[in-house]
Amino acid sequence: MSAASVSVPEDSVAAVAAAPRGRDEGARLGFRLTLPAQVLVLFIAAFPLLMQLYISVTDWGPLGGTGWWSAWRLWNNFANYTDLAADMRFWHALGRTGLVMLICVPAEFLLGLALATLFTGDFPGKRLFYSILLMPMMVVPAVAGYMFFMLFQSGGPVNDILSKFVGHPVTIAWLSDPNLALIAVMIADIWQWTPLMFLILLAGMVGVPEDQMKAATLLGANAWQRFTTIVLPKMKAIIIIALAIRVIENFKIFDTLYIMTGGGPGVATETISVYIYKVTTQDLIWGYVAAIALAILIVLSIVAVFAMKRMVASREVRA
The binder of other proteins chosen from 142, 203, 233, 309 (CB under 8 A):
233
Number of amino acids touching other proteins (CB under 8 A): 20
Is there binding between residue 218 and other proteins (CB under 8 A)? yes
> CA-to-CA distance for 244 and 247, rounded, in angstroms?
5
> CA-to-CA distance for 70 and 72, rounded, in angstroms?
5
Is there binding between residue 216 and other proteins (CB under 8 A)? yes
Task: Give the angle subtended at the CA of 276 by the CAs of 142 and 282, to the nearest 5°.
Answer: 90
Residues 6+ apart with CB under 8 A from 261: 175, 181, 184, 185, 268, 269
Is there binding between residue 214 and other proteins (CB under 8 A)? yes
**Residue type at 148?**
F
Residue (158 or 237) nearer to other proteins, CB: 237
Is there binding between residue 181 and other proteins (CB under 8 A)? no
Is there binding between residue 317 and other proteins (CB under 8 A)? yes
Residue (164 or 318) nearer to other proteins, CB: 318
Peptide bond just before 178 cis, omega within 30 deg: no
Residue (168 or 318) nearer to other proteins, CB: 318
Residue (199 or 235) nearer to other proteins, CB: 235
The binder of other proteins chosen from 34, 70, 171, 229 (CB under 8 A):
229
> CA-to-CA distance for 228 and 207, rounded, in angstroms?
16
Say if residues 248 and 165 touch (Cβ distance below 8 Å): no
> CA-to-CA distance for 269 and 179, rounded, in angstroms?
9
> CA-to-CA distance for 319 and 317, rounded, in angstroms?
6
**Residue type at 292?**
I
Cα 6–chain centre separation: 57
Is there binding between residue 246 and other proteins (CB under 8 A)? no
Cβ 217 to other proteins shortest distance, Å: 5
Residue (28 or 214) nearer to other proteins, CB: 214
Is there binding between residue 217 and other proteins (CB under 8 A)? yes
The binder of other proteins chosen from 22, 121, 155, 220 (CB under 8 A):
220
The binder of other proteins chosen from 38, 209, 301, 304 (CB under 8 A):
209
Is there binding between residue 122 and other proteins (CB under 8 A)? no
Residues 6+ apart with CB under 8 A from 149: 175, 259, 260
Cβ 63 to other proteins shortest distance, Å: 59
Is there binding between residue 215 and other proteins (CB under 8 A)? yes
Cβ 196 to other proteins shortest distance, Å: 25
Residues 6+ apart with CB under 8 A from 92: 267, 270
The binder of other proteins chosen from 3, 6, 138, 319 (CB under 8 A):
319
Is there binding between residue 211 and other proteins (CB under 8 A)? yes
How many alpha carbons lie under 13 Å from residue 233 in its C-beta half-sphere? 11
Chain residues that interact with other proteins, rule: CB under 8 A? 209, 211-212, 214-222, 225, 229-230, 233-234, 317-319
